[in-house]
């Protein structure tokens, strides 16, 4: 007999900078973000059966790739941090059987998909998970973005993944609501605030209006100042697609990180 689970919400989380939980000064800077991560498991109807992460740090060109390894490796995709941060491990098990189901769901939606045997956990995944589930006992796998960054295609990806929510799978989009590597610090204050304000308002719109606003996000105030490249925004589209029409709740909001950035995270459903 199949086990019944209450439907999981989905999330878009701003994941902070680099390996911040393992660097004391950075961890203090992201204390409020850490608090929001620690609250998240208590916001869920039950313990997830697995976590599916769409990270702003993994993109593929040909198809949506689905992590298939039983024991994924680590990907230290950050630079100029202390040596010990390149020895961090997050030994969560993968979810190969679920990955195969996800590949089939994506293909059934008319989108290209393939399994990936070698990809490991990038820091957009293992950093928040190390705070969310420090025991590393939660089955965890990733689905890539496609490098087209198409809002419509990634919303469609989310729609394809939506049935997993009924099976206890927690879908997390991991990025940043502001991500312009050339414009952190004080000069980020105005554009990040303008874009974050617009984004929060757009996410409160009803169903079709919300989708339309996100598909046309480039017309938002300071859009291209906030996301010169939108790799850290695209995971939001998948999280929305998987919870289409469901209410958005801002679960984290902070001004002044990275020397001037306003950033937020949201729950859907």
Phi and psi, residue 44, nearest 5°: -90, 150
Measured between alpha carbons, how far is 85 from 185 in angstroms, rounded to an integer?
23
Residue pair 8/45 in contact (Cβ under 8 Å)? The answer is: yes
The DSSP output letter for 71 is S
Among residues 142, 161, 125, 129, the alpha carbon closest in space to that of 244 is found at 161
> How many whole angstroms separate alpha carbon 226 and alpha carbon 220?
10
Place of tokens 């390894």: 69
11, β-bridge pairs: 172, 267
Cβ contact 98:161 at 8 Å = no
Distance CA 240, CA 230 (A): 16
For residue 247, the model assigns a pLDDT of 96
Q: d(Cα 99, Cα 147) in Å, to the nearest integer?
A: 20
Question: What pLDDT does 3 receive?
Answer: 43
The 3-state DSSP class for residue 165 equals: helix
Radius of gyration of the chain (CA): 17
From CA 195, how far away is CA 262, in angstroms rounded? Answer: 9
**CB atoms < 10 A from the CB of 247, how many?**
13
Residue whose pair of structure tokens reads 């610090």 in the numeric block: 185
Q: Which domains does the chain have, with CATH numbers?
A: 10-268 (3.40.830.10)
* pTM for this model (two decimals): 0.95
| pLDDT for residue 5 | 56
Q: How are beta strands 140-142 and 50-55 bridged, if at all? A: parallel
- List the structure tokens of 34: 């850490």
220 touches 198 (CB < 8 A):
yes
pLDDT tens across the length of the chain (269 residues): 344 458 999 999 999 999 999 999 999 999 999 999 999 999 999 999 999 999 999 999 999 999 999 999 999 999 999 999 999 999 999 999 999 999 999 999 999 999 999 999 999 999 999 999 999 999 999 999 999 999 999 999 999 999 999 999 999 999 999 887 677 888 889 999 999 999 999 999 998 999 999 999 999 999 999 899 999 999 999 999 999 999 999 999 999 999 899 999 999 99
């Amino acid at each position: 007999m199949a086990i019944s689970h209450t439907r999981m919400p989905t999330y878009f989380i701003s994941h902070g900078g680099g390996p911040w939980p393992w660097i004391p000064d950075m961890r203090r800077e992201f204390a409020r973000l850490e608090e929001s991560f620690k609250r998240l498991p208590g916001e869920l109807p039950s313990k997830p059966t697995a976590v599916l992460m769409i990270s702003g740090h993994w993109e593929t060109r040909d198809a949506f790739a689905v992590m298939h390894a039983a024991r994924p490796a680590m990907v230290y995709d950050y630079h100029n941090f202390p040596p010990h941060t390149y020895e961090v491990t997050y030994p969560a098990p993968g979810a190969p059987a679920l990955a195969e189901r996800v590949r089939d769901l994506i293909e059934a939606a008319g989108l290209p998909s393939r399994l990936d045997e070698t990809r490991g956990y990038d820091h957009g995944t293992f950093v928040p998970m190390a705070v969310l589930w420090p025991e590393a006992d939660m089955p965890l796998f990733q689905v890539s973005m496609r490098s087209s960054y198409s809002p419509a295609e990634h919303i469609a990806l989310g729609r394809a993944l939506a049935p997993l929510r009924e099976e206890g799978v927690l879908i997390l989009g991991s990025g940043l609501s502001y991500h312009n590597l050339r414009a952190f610090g004080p000069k980020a204050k105005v554009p990040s605030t303008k874009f974050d304000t617009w984004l929060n308002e757009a996410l409160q719109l009803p169903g079709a209006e919300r989708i339309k606003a996100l598909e046309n996000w480039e017309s938002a105030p300071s859009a291209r100042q906030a996301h010169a490249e939108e790799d850290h925004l695209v995971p939001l589209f998948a999280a929305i697609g998987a919870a289409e029409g469901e209410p958005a709740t801002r679960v984290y909001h902070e001004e002044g990180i990275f020397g001037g950035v306003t950033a937020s995270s949201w729950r859907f459903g």
